[in-house]
Structure 1
Amino acid sequence: MTTIDLGRPVSGDVVELILDDHRRFETLLRDLRDSSTDRDAVRQAFATLHVAHAEAEEKHVYPKLRRKQAVGEHEAEHGKEEHAEGHEALLAVLELKGTDTQAFEDAVEELARVVNHHLTEEELTILNPAREEVGERVRAELGEAFARERNAQVDAGCGSLENVRRIVAEAAREGLLDDED
């Protein structure tokens, strides 16, 4: 478990909860680049948040937005692919022994590239339609479901190296990590 505060929302507009996590990812990435931080604690916190956030979105948010026709199948599937790519880049960071090497910095750079691309794309192609086409009540219900799943994942230690390895292997089997779009 990590001492870094990942927040523990219980309710709210799902769009705002997701955006709060996006800002946390940006802060954690900044901390991963900072050699004066406890990079090991930061990468563990990042792993936990990344897995919990992705699992909650894929289990609750994407399917509901598809049913509400706020997003199409392509956007939801692409979001899953980008989560898988993020997990794969995260695994590379987690598997490195030291945090003061060029290999670590290169892996962090790749993680930041993949995650920042996803955050931007998700905010434009999934969160904007969710704001515009899904009512407040549904966004609040979705916020509760998202928060409940996210917190359960955090409590279960979802960011462990073993779990991230399992998720990446599963994504590879499902064809989510193929290089062509």
Structure 2
Amino acid sequence: MTSYQIPRPTSGDVVEVILDDHRLFETLLRELRNSQADREAARAALSEVLIAHGEAEEEKVYQQLRRKHAIGEHEAEHGEEEHAEGNEALLELLEVADVHGEEFDEAVEKLATALNHHIGEEEQTILNPAREEVAEDVRAQLGRDWLARRNELLDQGCGSTEQVRAIVGRAHEEGLLPADDED
């Protein structure tokens, strides 16, 4: 089994380190589409980094950017809704047994669609305002805080199917996703 190394920086401008993860998501999605790749390992790595990234963003970045008036309530809530949608698509991918079947390919594309949409919006409506409205030293502190939480979650192994299922369940309870009977 191949292992994909997830970088674990400890400092950097929050905008730049988030963008680094976005590029990593894209790389891992390409690996999931590659029939010659170790899809199990790529899926496990994507699950870990995607969950750690999103959870740490919600805890350490979105609220701070709201306090700094770089983004509004709507942008933070919309980002959380899109994380929930991505996590739900991730759960579907994790639950596919045959990584070489059509169901897997469809689940990869569903996740890719959700992720690409979120990445584009986040880079335009959250990260650009952060660049423009938040001082460099504050972005550096946010980067350290976000990376510390992200790396802590990675150390805990945050991307298991059970943990993703619990996160998706919590998103349903919080109203970030429609009730199961509303899908």
Instruction: Kindly report which structure 2 residues correspond to 1:54-133, keeping only aligned pairs within 5 A, or say none.
Output: 54-133=54-133
- 3-state SS of paired residue (1:168): helix
Encode CA deviations 1:20-51: one digit per residue, 9 max, x unaligned.
00000000001100010010100000000000
* Number of aligned residues: 179
Aligned to 2:167: 167
Aligned to 1:49: 49
Give the distance between the partners of 1:5 and 1:121, measured in 2 at CA: 27
Aligned to 2:28: 28
Give the distance between the partners of 1:119 and 1:128, measured in 2 at CA: 12
Q: Are 1:138 and 2:145 matched, yes or no? A: no
Give the distance between the partners of 2:71 and 2:86, measured in 1 at CA: 21
Deviation at 1:94, TM superposition (A): 0.3
Aligned to 1:176: 176
Instruction: List structure 1 segments (4+ residues) > 6 angstroms apart after TM superposition.
Output: none
* 2:74 aligned partner, one-letter code: H
* 1:55 aligned partner, one-letter code: E
Q: Are 1:150 and 2:174 matched, yes or no? A: no
Aligned to 1:18: 18
Give the distance between the partners of 1:31 and 1:158, measured in 2 at CA: 21
TM-score, normalisation: structure 1: 0.97
RMSD over equivalenced CA pairs, Å: 1.2
Deviation at 1:3, TM superposition (A): 2.3
Give the distance between the partners of 1:6 and 1:81, measured in 2 at CA: 25
Deviation at 1:6, TM superposition (A): 1.1
Encode CA deviations 1:91-132: one digit per residue, 9 max, x unaligned.
000001110111000000000000000000000000000000
* 1:50 aligned partner, one-letter code: L
Give the distance between the partners of 1:146 and 1:9, measured in 2 at CA: 10
Runs (5+) with no aligned partner, structure 2: none
Give the distance between the partners of 2:176 and 2:43, measured in 1 at CA: 23
Give the distance between the partners of 1:65 and 1:162, measured in 2 at CA: 31
TM-score, normalisation: structure 2: 0.96
Identity of aligned residues (%): 60
* 2:9 aligned partner, one-letter code: P
Give the distance between the partners of 2:63 and 2:83, measured in 1 at CA: 15
Give the distance between the partners of 1:124 and 1:6, measured in 2 at CA: 25
Runs (5+) with no aligned partner, structure 1: none
Deviation at 1:178, TM superposition (A): 2.6
* 1:106 aligned partner, one-letter code: E
Give the distance between the partners of 2:12 and 2:38, measured in 1 at CA: 31
* 2:173 aligned partner, one-letter code: R
* 1:61 aligned partner, one-letter code: V
